[in-house]
Homo-oligomer: A and B are copies of this chain.
Amino acid sequence: MALIVQKFGGTSVGSVEKIRGVAEKIKGFRDRGDSVVVVVSAMGGETDRLVDLADQVGKKPPLREMDVLLSTGEQVTISLLSMALQKIGVDAISFTGWQVPIKSDGAHGKARIESIDAEHLHAELDAGKVAVVAGFQGISPSNDITTLGRGGSDTTAVALAAALKADECQIYTDVDGVYTTDPRVVANARRLDQITFEEMLEMASLGSKVLQIRAVEFAGKYGVPLRVLHSVEPGPGTLITLEEAMEKPIVSGIAFTHDEAQLTVLGVPDRPGIAYALLGPIGEANIEVDMILQNVSGDSSSDYTLTDFTFTVHRADYERARELLEKAAKEHGAREVAGRTDISKVSLVGVGMRSHANVAARMFKALSDENINIRMISTTEIKISIVLEEKYMELAVRALHSAFDLDKEPEEVDSELTPQAEQ
């Protein structure tokens, strides 16, 4: 007898047949007495079709009109799903963004939800209806249709769950949960029953793209229990929650990204503001900078200290970033700029490592045993990231997955490993 918000993405509602399947799934929850709010995306391919129409009119379409256009995609899905539900005897009613209303700011194409008036939804739920809400869209203070940006349907679902004080927000996807790492790399990667928001954020931003980061942040902020499930196959999925599991493993998962590039400025005079002077132009060019390291390398006998800066960018941004960096390096009297584009990043993620001191040591030993050279290291409370040569990446992920017993259930891990880790 829970209140559940469920979100089905474009692939899950990609055809009338699939929409019928979604209706059957929802019926299962209604039959056991749950109240259900469903958030849906546009049918798979529909958004691309609409974007193509706009492109035919001309490049750079006005953003307000683009939102009017794109919001029709979800509107089609809510009507069809409501019809499919009623067809199988489940009372249902559709809501566009403005009908809820989901109030957003006026930033067309990337609007942020400001508030949700849940009164109308509650009334329909109380009347025994399933409320089918268009994801990805809102209404601005000036009564204009807005969109939350592509993939924003996850955010709609979480925001609705928060506004309705729902018991759970379920995101149905094409995977059956969050895994310890990518099963394509490690065959015995294991589905996690539970993971914390912090861990999920680190996993997501590092490449395990199951959920929109923005939706996870939002869910964490409002304490909305979030569950990732497969849209067709049955199963419990992975619950993303504020609470840490009683028997929490040290490491929950291993994330990785392939296409990294490394840039180093060598022999920079170590003055206040020098980091900003070097990285500022790169940020202004909208190039995302990831790991940043600084080492003092200067000759202590000279008048001023020299320092080295190293950071990583996405490989696609390497050439442009290097150009900007060389210009800045020259202006600020640095010795030289070096870089390489054959690197990857591997990260251990887990709230358990907060209380286990030697995780890094065990990580480095596992990699050393495989003769893998570490080029950069960066740590946070719940994450240790290393940069290594790309060709070693998969070997590293497998070695770490095994070293931290991620293929075993947490109970086994605890009894077997925790004492050892605390020695």
A78 with B86, Cβ < 8 A, contacts A16-B56, A16-B57, A57-B16 known: no
- Tell which of B53, B57, B78 touches A68, judged by Cβ atoms closer than 8 Å: B78
Q: Which of A121-173 contact B (CB under 8 A)?
A: 143, 145
Q: Are A65 and B82 in contact (CB under 8 A)?
A: yes
* Additional A-B contact list (8), CB under 8 Å, known A62-B83, A65-B94: A53-B76, A54-B80, A57-B83, A64-B94, A65-B82, A69-B83, A72-B75, A75-B75
List A residues 180-204 near B (Cβ within 8 Å): none
> What's the tally of chain A residues with a CB closer than 8 Å to chain B?
35
Contact with B along A63-107 (1 / 0, CB 8 A): 011101101100110111011101100000110101100000000
Residue pairs across A and B with Cβ atoms less than 8 A apart, 10 shown, are A16-B57, A53-B80, A57-B84, A65-B80, A68-B96, A69-B76, A72-B75, A72-B76, A75-B75, A98-B98
Given the known interface contacts A16-B56, A20-B57, the answer about A79 and B65 at a Cβ–Cβ threshold of 8 Å is yes
Of A53, A83, A84, A99, most buried by chain B (CB within 10 Å of CB) is A83
Q: Does A50 count as interface, using CB distance less than 8 angstroms? A: yes
**A66 with B50, Cβ < 8 A, contacts A87-B57, A87-B58, A98-B98 known:** no
Q: Is A61 an interface residue (CB 8 A)?
A: yes
Q: Which residues of B contact A145 (CB under 8 A)?
A: 96
Per-residue CB proximity of A15-42 to B under 8 Å, as 1/0? 0100110000000000000000000000
The residue of chain B having its C-beta at the shortest distance from the C-beta of A69 within the complex is B79
Question: Which of A16, A68, A143 has the most CB atoms of chain B within a 10 A radius of its CB?
Answer: A68
Give A27 Cβ to nearest chain B Cβ, in Å: 14
**Do A79 and B66 have beta carbons less than 8 Å apart?**
yes
